[in-house]
Amino acid sequence: MGVSDSAAEPGRLVVRPATRRDLHATARAHVDLLPVGLFPSLGPRFVRRWHRTFLDSRHGVGYVAVDPSAPGEEFVGFLLGTTDQTAHIAALLTDRRAVASLAVAAASALVRRPKVATRLLRSRVGPWTRRFRSRKPRGDGPDRPTAAPQVAVMTALAVRPEWRGTGIGSTLVTHFVEHARLAGATTAELVTPTGPTGAPTFYERLGWEAGPQESTPDGEGLSVYRRSLRDADPS
């Protein structure tokens, strides 16, 4: 895709495509470093299965940063996303095996986490049900969806605290931007928390533009950021 499979980075670090062998580390890092939202609250086993859907998708993007000089190739950080969010979700929903696996993993996590299950019932089941009931049947009328620009979404980016400030986060973002651009995406999007775990200044420094403010069903604030990929400098 025009992005090297292995690139030397500051501090002896290497960025390479993520594999299934990395899922344990990426899931653990997601739960520990990106705790906002429902999925991280379901624990690393569920998040590991969710991360796998990105690696199994032709629209998925996955990179890890490692220190190859450390014993066992020390894990430093990761990035996950899609080159076409709409196509990725549509393909996932038609993959019965993947959906069933996610459902089983989620159910297992909720059984072990009754507080999370209660929060899910209170904050999400009602809105999801109302949204489903309000959906209009597809047809040939004016409400039929029309072709839309291909939008890439950066779903998760995390770097271990001791490696922050080395430039590796910027390098992971650069890989994602170039990957998505070469895959045909015209715009990239991401959300970052508005609280102390967010990184709005980091993304603004890299050329992302702030969009609307949103919030999770639990009331956690999120900032939407976008970036045009048309003839964009990936750095």
Residues 101, 56 contacting (CB under 8 angstroms) = no
First-last CA distance in the chain: 16
The structure tokens listed for 131 are 């949204």
Show Cβ contacts of residue 139 under 8 Å, excluding neighbours closer than 6 positions: none
Task: Show the DSSP H helices in 57-213 as ranges.
Answer: 85-93, 96-112, 114-120, 126-134, 168-182, 200-205
Per-residue tens of pLDDT for the chain, all 235 residues: 334 344 444 458 999 999 999 999 999 999 999 998 889 999 999 999 999 999 999 999 999 999 998 888 899 999 999 999 999 999 999 999 999 999 999 999 988 888 887 777 666 555 544 444 455 554 444 443 556 889 999 999 999 999 999 999 999 999 999 999 999 999 999 999 887 667 889 999 999 999 888 776 667 788 999 999 986 565 5
- Residue 121 per-residue DSSP state: I
The answer, as to whether pTM is greater than 0.85, is: no
C-alpha distances out from residue 6 to 72, 105, 171, Å: 17, 32, 12
173 to 4, 35, 122, 177, 192: CA distances (angstroms): 14, 20, 35, 6, 14
CA angle in degrees (0–180, nearest 5) for 20-26-31: 140
Q: Which CATH number fits domain 7-91+150-228: 3.40.605.10, 3.40.630.30, 3.40.50.300, 3.30.420.10?
A: 3.40.630.30
Alpha carbon distance 148, 91 (integer Å) = 17
Contact 61, 180 (CB under 8 A): yes
